[in-house]
């Protein structure tokens, strides 16, 4: 059995993606849920202030292969890996992919960001970004316990 692996990354949305964000998220989820389930990959994707932040977890080869495919997606640019490595257990195991579009009124998550005037995940240490994702996952877990 392959060890569990995690990749955490951030990327900027292209202007076209940002202009049609809800449709873009629907399209991303439609593909991601199917492909991730086939590869036993779980994770979460959030979209906020022109950024995507995503965590992918699963077998190392499968996660890296999925990440390579994601990196070629034209809906985003300036992709930066914030963290990568082995993990002991899945954090986002309830979903083949959970997604959330955050709003400025999402107090629980924004409190973690220190209420900065602007949101730039590249200015936060990886553990802080991961904390944001797990907080969003916990909110979704209570709302959609069998998958989002």
pLDDT > 90 fraction of the chain, expressed in percent and rounded: 41
- In this structure, what token pair is assigned to residue 102? 């955050």
Does the pLDDT of residue 140 top 80, yes or no? no
For the chain, give the number of residues: 148
Residue 138: its H or E element:
helix 126-143
pLDDT > 70 fraction of the chain, expressed in percent and rounded: 76
User: What is the number of other CB atoms lying within 10 angstroms of the CB of residue 136?
Assistant: 25
User: What is the number of other CB atoms lying within 10 angstroms of the CB of residue 13?
Assistant: 21
28 touches 74 (CB < 8 A) = no
Q: How confident is the model at residue 147 (pLDDT cuts 50, 70, 90)?
A: very low
Nearest partner of 7 among 133, 112, 136, 124, judged by Cα: 133
The whole-number pLDDT of residue 135 equals 79
The whole-number pLDDT of residue 71 equals 95
16-20, 21-25, 62-66, 78-82: the lowest-pLDDT one: 21-25
102-107: long-range pairs with CB below 8 Å, 24+? 102/46, 102/47, 102/48, 102/136
For CA atoms 139, 145, 147, 148, the dihedral sign is negative
26-40, 89-103, 117-131: the lowest-pLDDT one: 89-103
């Amino acid at each position: 059995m392959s060890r569990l692996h995690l990749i955490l990354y951030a990327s900027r949305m292209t202007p076209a993606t940002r202009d049609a964000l809800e449709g873009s998220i629907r399209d991303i989820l439609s593909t991601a849920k199917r492909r991730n389930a086939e590869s036993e990959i779980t994770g979460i994707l959030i979209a906020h202030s022109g950024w995507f932040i995503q965590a992918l977890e699963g077998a190392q080869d499968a996660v890296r292969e999925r990440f390579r495919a994601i990196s070629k997606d034209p809906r985003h640019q300036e992709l930066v890996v914030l963290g990568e490595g082995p993990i002991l257990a899945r954090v986002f195991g309830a979903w083949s992919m959970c997604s959330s579009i955050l709003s400025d009124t999402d107090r629980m998550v924004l409190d973690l960001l220190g209420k900065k005037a602007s949101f730039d995940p590249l200015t936060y240490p990886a553990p802080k970004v991961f904390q944001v994702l797990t907080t969003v996952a916990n909110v979704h877990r209570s709302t959609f316990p069998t998958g989002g």
